[in-house]
Chain A
Amino acid sequence: MIPHMITARPGGRGSNGPGPISMAEFLQRIAERGDVEAFRKLFQAYAPRVKAYMMRQGANPDTAEELAQETLLTVWRKAGLYSGEKGSATTWIFTIARNLRIDRLRRELSWVELPDGHDEEPSPDALPDELLSEQERKIRVQAALATLPPDQFEVVSLSYIEGLSHSEIAERLQLPLGTVKSRMRLAYHKVRESVEDLK
């Protein structure tokens, strides 16, 4: 795990907090008035990481670059769907990149749609409390992941970052499918426990 050294990383601790304009706010500006400068900022902050993600998912550098451009273009096009209380800007951009990867690299349909902001639970305006618990949840998830045993972290990372299915992970690690799933479950419960009291 890489320690949390760079404080200005996109979607980091400061993203919804006070201080300089947050990524979520740039996203809101794009949603509200098609702010081109805000888009440029988002692009600078996220495109390098989206490209890295696509490369880890098996894309060559050219394709990865194209997919990074396309991810950010989708952010522009669908900014109207983003609502701050549904999650951080990073989470939203990650889900866009994830769905684009399924579509382009796997050439499959991503059935699970982007969160579309009209779920029953959250209120239309983000309450400060909700933002706080959102940030808090994020910090807890980071901490929980950092303390996972290596064998559990490995399957989680292969799933999220390399994009492997359970059976592909089993094949890669020469493990029975059941072992892969039970490691995933253990990791899940640790993450879940760490945020249990926030909801």
Chain B
Amino acid sequence: MKITHHPDPASLMSCSAGSMPEAFGAVMAVHFSLCPCCRQELSVMEHIGTTLFDQLMPATVVRPAPIAAMRAMEADDDARVTPKTAVGDVPQPLVASIGYHLDKVPWKRVGPGVWQHQIALSDPSRGELRLVKVGPGQALPAHGHRGDEMTLVLRGSYTDSSGVYRAGDVADLDDAFEHQPVADAIDGCICLIAVQGRLRFKSVIARLAQPFTGF
């Protein structure tokens, strides 16, 4: 898999800090599972966290080491390294949410040639995460973004003014960017999309008017 579009470095830092809204963290995790080069970058960024962590003034700890709790707890055998074998075409971080096969996702049709599947998040007010499937050659309406949006291609590809996005590629867009993605003429496209969600009245109206917001 040749990945040519990577997340914004600012996103990489936020991710290594553990400060990203969950939807974006999910997209990043999938990208990391496919992109050794960003995993490497992440490990460099983690040194920033470690360094700042190291420089914190230690707080006084009142309770002793939890030796009893620890003894009661067997070492986690699951924690032993077990190579993950690929069963389907869904990247590891998403398997728990959608299973192993993209074709078995319970897709909901939201328009001609467009299907989606919402992935539940712990706090829906902080963002949205969804899978979107677009039929071959299908164009989506030109759209800007209300907030940040991060899209990762899982299958097929799409093209917009900024280039071609293939499996593993990430489009890390801010709200200023307007684009009109067109799915691949033969394979169409399946994407994982995170959008920043703040419930605003305006966006509710937009949602009623057009079921496919975020695009």
Residues of A that sit less than 8 Å from B by CB = 1-2, 9-12, 34, 36, 39-40, 43-44, 47-49, 51-53, 55-56, 61, 64-65, 68-69, 72-73, 76-81, 86-88, 90-91, 94-95, 97-99, 101-102, 106-113, 115-121, 137-138, 141-142, 145, 156-157, 159-161, 163-168, 177-178, 180-182, 184-185, 187-189, 191-192, 195, 199
* CB of B89 closer than 8 Å to a CB of A: no
Residues of A contacting B16 in the complex (Cβ-Cβ under 8 angstroms): 160
Report which of B8, B13, B29 forms a contact with A112, defined as CB distance below 8 A. B29
Flag the segment in B74-82, B106-114, B180-188, B203-211 that touches A.
B74-82
Assess the B93–A113 pair: CB atoms within 8 A. Answer: yes
- What 5 A-B pairs have minimum CB-CB distances, sorted nearest first? A48-B58, A111-B29, A184-B10, A98-B18, A43-B65
**Contact partners of A106 in chain B: CB under 8 A:** 22, 122-123
B40 contacts A by Cβ under 8 Å: yes
B interface majority secondary structure: helix
- A99 CA to B46 CA, complexed, in Å: 12
A residues near B56, Cβ cutoff 8 Å: 49, 52-53, 56, 161
Cα distance A177–B81 in the bound complex, in angstroms? 40
6 contacts between A and B (CB under 8 A): A10-B54, A48-B58, A73-B69, A80-B75, A106-B22, A191-B48
Which B residue's beta carbon lies closest to that of A119? B39
B79 & A94 in contact (Cβ 8 Å cutoff) = no
Q: Is B70 an interface residue (CB 8 A)?
A: yes
Alpha-carbon gap, A80 to B42, bound state (A): 21
Q: Which of B55-77 contact A (CB under 8 A)?
A: 55-63, 65-67, 69-71, 73, 75-77
A163–B25 alpha-carbon span in the complex (Å): 13
A40 touches B40 (CB 8 A): no
Contacting pair A181 B123 (CB below 8 A): no
- A1, chain B: closest CB distance, angstroms: 7
Question: Which of A79, A90, A167 sits near B53, CB closer than 8 Å?
Answer: A90
Looking across the interface, which residue of chain A has its beta carbon closest to that of B57? Answer: A52
Q: How far is the CA of A12 from the CA of B53 in the complex (A)?
A: 11
Asked if B26 CB lies within 8 Å of chain A CBs, one says yes
Instruction: Evaluate whether A111 and B19 lie within 8 angstroms (CB atoms) in the complex, with A40-B65, A72-B66, A80-B76 already known.
Output: no
Interface size bracket, B side:
35 or more
Chain B residues contacting A107 (CB-CB under 8 Å) are 122-123
Inter-chain contact A68/B75, CB cutoff 8 Å: no
Known A-B contacts A40-B65, A113-B93, A178-B174; A188 and B57 likewise in contact (beta carbons under 8 Å): no
Known: A34-B75, A116-B81, A145-B51. A185 touches B25 (CB 8 A): no
Q: Are B44 and A159 in contact, with the CB atoms below 8 A?
A: no
B14 at the binding interface (Cβ < 8 Å): yes
Given A43-B65, A49-B56, A65-B63, also A192-B75 (CB < 8 A) = no
In the bound complex, CA of A120 to CA of B39 (Å): 11
Cα–Cα distance between A111 and B45 once the two chains are bound (Å)? 17
Chain A min CB distance to B175 (Å): 8
Q: Are A165 and B14 in contact (CB under 8 A)?
A: yes
Among B22, B43, B53, B63, point to the contact of A111 (Cβ < 8 A). B22
Sample of 18 more A-B contacts, CB < 8 Å, known A11-B54, A53-B53: A52-B56, A52-B58, A52-B59, A72-B65, A87-B43, A106-B123, A108-B122, A111-B25, A111-B26, A111-B28, A112-B42, A159-B19, A164-B19, A165-B19, A166-B10, A167-B196, A178-B174, A191-B48
